[in-house]
Structure 1
Amino acid sequence: MTYIVRRLTLEEIYDLSRSCRHFQYLIREENLCKMLLR
């Protein structure tokens, strides 16, 4: 999943997290968020 998320923009990740409750961890998981903001 990390490999796929790295290819997305922040806006796309946010939209994905809003589209399904199973993807909400994309914006809630601390380590993943740190990686995305770098």
Structure 2
Amino acid sequence: MFEIDKEKCIHCGLCVKDCSPKALQFNDEKIPVIDEKKML
């Protein structure tokens, strides 16, 4: 299971950019959230 550590996240966007299935997107607080349906 993949999860985002919100305390360590610096909101740089690299995880969103590099996620090949496009399963990560930013929420309104600029924290990446996972779309479980798109996970491989």
The TM-score range, normalised by the shorter chain, is 0.3 to 0.5
Q: Return the TM-score normalized by structure 1.
A: 0.42
Q: Return the TM-score normalized by structure 2.
A: 0.41
- Structure number with the higher strand fraction is 2
